[in-house]
Structure 1
Amino acid sequence: MKHSQKRTFMDIEKMSSDEFKAFCRSGNKNHFTRIRKMPLQDLLFTMINRKGLTLALELRNYMKLAHPGVSISKPGYLKQRMKLNPDAFLELYKYHNRNFYTDSTFSTYKDHLILAADGSDINIPTTAKTLKLYGSASRKNTKPQAQIGLGCIYDVMNRMILESDYNKVKFDEMRLAEKQMERIPETIGSIPYIIIMDRGYPSTPAFIHMMDKDIKFIVRLKSSDYKKEQSSLAENDQIVKIKLDKSRIRHYEGTPDGERMKELGEISLRMVKILLENGSLEVLATNLSQTEFQTEEIKELYHMRWGIETA
């Protein structure tokens, strides 16, 4: 990426600041004030640059490179690590991303960032504590396996993870994505973006929330979503009116979403049929205008979503 060296030096400068050092102290204002074998900056570097080796090898390789002739024991290193406020990495992550989007060299598609939302399940060590906090992915009456649910929003053209949250193994991906979209302007400012989502995300309230906030989206529909409207499509790309009748409001009765659906009465979605590489036909729902984005461009944009799967 252009100017990546400049941003790396900015990150290092941030790590060296008194303000950041104070932020990193986990409960004791005297932490990281004395000169030790593993000062704060080195501690952060060792954690960011892990290669998947044993801790002893990681420490030996790092010290050989950064401080030749100096060694640190595992207990000494772990003692230093326990002093670190783990939110230090979140602070650095946000700082780095903000700097990236203040630089005009990032890539866009028709002046829009192309963002993708997705979730994934990740195995974590199974203990009584992790099972209680996050839950098990195993079937009933089988050996439990603790898992977390990870939800991310990813800039597919610039290969940057903008938002990432861990949750219980079973979580509402769309609800999390909405919270993450609320935070995105803190990183990218007023740069317009298009959010792309796979099946499992969409719901009528979710579409309404995004349209109310003028968020542009492309979402792959399940065959059961708006089944009547999908089956009646006369063209491969057309605007469809979705009647918000009692059957669609029933599930949200008595909630702000239900009241908003009653108030609107109907919504309009653009439905685009696309032929996937495996030969199956899928329908995408979007609020992108037909004049600004052609049918083939909608297909191209949705295909970009694959970047979050490999990220």
Structure 2
Amino acid sequence: MIFDGLENVCPYENDNFKYSFIEDSIESECVDFRKHVLNDSAFTRNRIWGFGDYVKHILFNQRKTIQNNIDTHLKYSKDCVGSYSKQSFSEQRININPDVFKRISINYLRNIGYINLQKNCEFFRTFYGFRLFAGDGSRFELPNKKLTLKEFGFKENYDKKINVVFSGVVDVLNDFMIDGLIGKRGVGEHTLIHKNIEKCKRLIIPEKSIFIFDRGYNSIELMVRIIEMHSYFVIRLRKDTYIGERESMTSDDEIVEIELDKTRRNQFQNNYFKNKIRFFNSLNLRIVNIKLETGEIETLITNLPQETMSKEQLKEIYKARWGIECTYKTLKQRLQIQNYTAQTEIGIQQDIYSTFLLYNIFCYSRIYLNLIINKNMRKKGKKDYYDVNQSHLISRLKIDLFETILDPSKVKNFINNLIKKCTPAPNKVKKPRQYERKKTTPNRYIQTQYKPTF
């Protein structure tokens, strides 16, 4: 359940949830901002907006028309600026490295105590002391504009949906987005997931981390990378992979020798790992067959020892992978991550990566508010678990955060107002249901040429 292991954590202490966590996360990158500027001549003169103003605007704008976003921002301007053109904004934003927004999101996770390489904070969930990280890709649709097509590697007259791969790594027990990357045309999930993991390994405790992947990630190179960093993985196997090794099994849970033949070696893309496996003829990995309620056999491969995780525990670990699908749903539907305010590659990356902060704030707020809600429910004698209304929480964050970040006078009541507005009328957590997956053709989430104006 969502709240297992957190019953003894006190959510009423203000030290657990401060607005300053957000403010400090932004300011720490804006102090020495030159390292995030792509053009040496940019942000060298005194202008109406400085680097910090642009960063805050991109982080918290309402995803309406550019001019509407600017006008809303100017209402809180200290200098009583009457107007600012969208042309000036667009010309300046292309000088900001999109990675600054990922850095701000990581700063926030560090400030709330999530990233602590010395110990795991009791405020955050683990699975028998391990954090569970799911990696997966999702199709992101881009605006069909001439400049966008060119910069993302599409032909000028491309007449189909402009889809590229987004790849992310999510802590599926706490829902935090640890890393995400948007690729160009032709760049697949496997290429991006290796970059994701390389970024993640400095932010986690490798020995206490388990990476979970669906059957599309049956890559020995990926397994070797995770083994090399002293972490663990659980991957679902396709029915047509490792057939010989699986037929040799005499039980449903065995250590199996995976032969590193020429075909498998040639699939390696990274020269470091390709050279490393030259000295090995095989890998000893654990293969587990799990019978589902439907009667289907699900096969997992892992490097977790049998004495560390049982067969039933592996089933629970892989089941947790569904959390990353919920993350993509929230990012796309609730946070409108595909509602872009730009047509350039840099601008689109800024829109996507800036959403990470708001999403992680939402996840932390959800944990905090759920503790308050469920403690109150226990006092009333209710034994069920309850979850804050997610859409209401996100809408309050979008409005209140935007106002608070630009109007410091509202900081004092930010947390109290969030608790007051979001803790009433929570949703009862229902038991998971199983449905047969239906193949559908998704419609566009947002028409990029028409933005909401109110």
Which range, TM-score by smaller chain?
A: 0.7 to 0.9
2:304 to 280, 285, 288: 288
For structure 1, which segment, 74-83 or 292-301, has the greater mean C-alpha deviation from structure 2 after superposition? Answer: 74-83
Aligned-pair CA distance for 1:203:
2.4
Distance 2:38 2:142 in 1: 24
Distance 2:129 2:275 in 1: 35
Aligned-pair CA distance for 1:4:
5.4
Distance 1:46 1:114 in 2: 33
For structure 1, which segment, 218-227 or 239-248, has the greater mean C-alpha deviation from structure 2 after superposition? Answer: 239-248
Q: 1:23–1:182: structure 2 CA closer, same or farther, 3 Å change rule? A: closer
Q: 1:300–1:43: structure 2 CA closer, same or farther, 3 Å change rule? A: same
Aligned-pair CA distance for 1:172:
4.2
What corresponds to 2:128 in structure 1? Answer: 110
If asked which structure has higher relative contact order (CA below 8 Å, sep 6+), I would say 2
The answer to whether 1:308 aligns with 2:324 is yes
What corresponds to 2:410 in structure 1? Answer: none
- Kindly provide the amino acid, as one letter, of the partner of residue 222 in structure 2: A
Aligned-pair CA distance for 1:23:
3.2
Distance 2:30 2:266 in 1: 56
Aligned-pair CA distance for 1:136:
5.1
What corresponds to 2:369 in structure 1? Answer: none
Q: Which runs of 5+ in 2 are unaligned?
A: 1-10, 328-454
Aligned-pair CA distance for 1:308:
1.2
What corresponds to 2:389 in structure 1? Answer: none
Q: Contact 1:238/1:272 (CA < 8 Å) preserved in 2? A: yes
- Kindly provide the amino acid, as one letter, of the partner of residue 120 in structure 1: S
Distance 2:273 2:65 in 1: 51
What corresponds to 2:200 in structure 1? Answer: 184
What corresponds to 1:74 in structure 2? Answer: 85
What corresponds to 1:40 in structure 2? Answer: 51
Aligned-pair CA distance for 1:107:
2.9
Relative to the length of structure 1, the TM-score reads 0.80
Q: Contact 1:117/1:154 (CA < 8 Å) preserved in 2? A: yes
For structure 1, which segment, 121-130 or 217-226, has the greater mean C-alpha deviation from structure 2 after superposition? Answer: 121-130
1:230 counterpart SS class: helix
Distance 1:181 1:82 in 2: 27
Q: 1:173–1:72: structure 2 CA closer, same or farther, 3 Å change rule? A: same
What corresponds to 1:266 in structure 2? Answer: 282
Distance 2:133 2:239 in 1: 24
The answer to whether 1:206 aligns with 2:222 is yes
Q: Contact 1:23/1:88 (CA < 8 Å) preserved in 2? A: no
More strand as a share of residues? 1
Distance 2:38 2:261 in 1: 54
- Kindly provide the amino acid, as one letter, of the partner of residue 110 in structure 1: Y
Aligned-pair CA distance for 1:245:
4.7
2:105 to 83, 90, 93: 93
1:147 to 141, 152, 163: 163
The answer to whether 1:13 aligns with 2:27 is yes
Q: Contact 1:135/1:147 (CA < 8 Å) preserved in 2? A: no
Distance 1:156 1:142 in 2: 37
Aligned-pair CA distance for 1:221:
0.4
1:27 to 29, 39, 45: 39
Q: Contact 2:167/2:182 (CA < 8 Å) preserved in 1? A: yes
Q: Contact 2:165/2:189 (CA < 8 Å) preserved in 1? A: no
- Kindly provide the amino acid, as one letter, of the partner of residue 42 in structure 1: D
For structure 1, which segment, 127-136 or 92-101, has the greater mean C-alpha deviation from structure 2 after superposition? Answer: 127-136
C-alpha deviations, 1:102-139, integer Å up to 9, x for none? Answer: 383433222222111111221212345544553459xx
What corresponds to 1:125 in structure 2? Answer: 143
Distance 1:83 1:179 in 2: 24
Aligned-pair CA distance for 1:293:
0.9
Cα root mean square deviation, aligned: 3.4
- Kindly provide the amino acid, as one letter, of the partner of residue 189 in structure 2: E
Aligned-pair CA distance for 1:162:
1.7
Relative to the length of structure 2, the TM-score reads 0.57
Aligned-pair CA distance for 1:165:
1.8
1:27 counterpart SS class: coil
Distance 1:208 1:245 in 2: 15
Q: 1:233–1:307: structure 2 CA closer, same or farther, 3 Å change rule? A: same
Aligned-pair CA distance for 1:285:
0.5
1:51 to 59, 62, 70: 62
Q: Contact 1:32/1:40 (CA < 8 Å) preserved in 2? A: no
Aligned-pair CA distance for 1:198:
0.8
Distance 1:257 1:31 in 2: 42
For structure 1, which segment, 164-173 or 72-81, has the greater mean C-alpha deviation from structure 2 after superposition? Answer: 72-81
Q: 1:269–1:47: structure 2 CA closer, same or farther, 3 Å change rule? A: same
% identical aligned pairs:
26
What corresponds to 1:228 in structure 2? Answer: 244
Q: Contact 1:130/1:146 (CA < 8 Å) preserved in 2? A: no
Q: 1:132–1:115: structure 2 CA closer, same or farther, 3 Å change rule? A: same
Distance 1:57 1:247 in 2: 56
C-alpha deviations, 1:44-100, integer Å up to 9, x for none? Answer: 222111333222332333333565965433334445435544443243234334444
1:160 to 163, 173, 176: 176
1:188 counterpart SS class: coil
For structure 1, which segment, 279-288 or 215-224, has the greater mean C-alpha deviation from structure 2 after superposition? Answer: 279-288
Distance 1:136 1:33 in 2: 36
Q: Contact 2:131/2:210 (CA < 8 Å) preserved in 1? A: yes
- Kindly provide the amino acid, as one letter, of the partner of residue 122 in structure 1: F
Q: Contact 2:206/2:231 (CA < 8 Å) preserved in 1? A: no
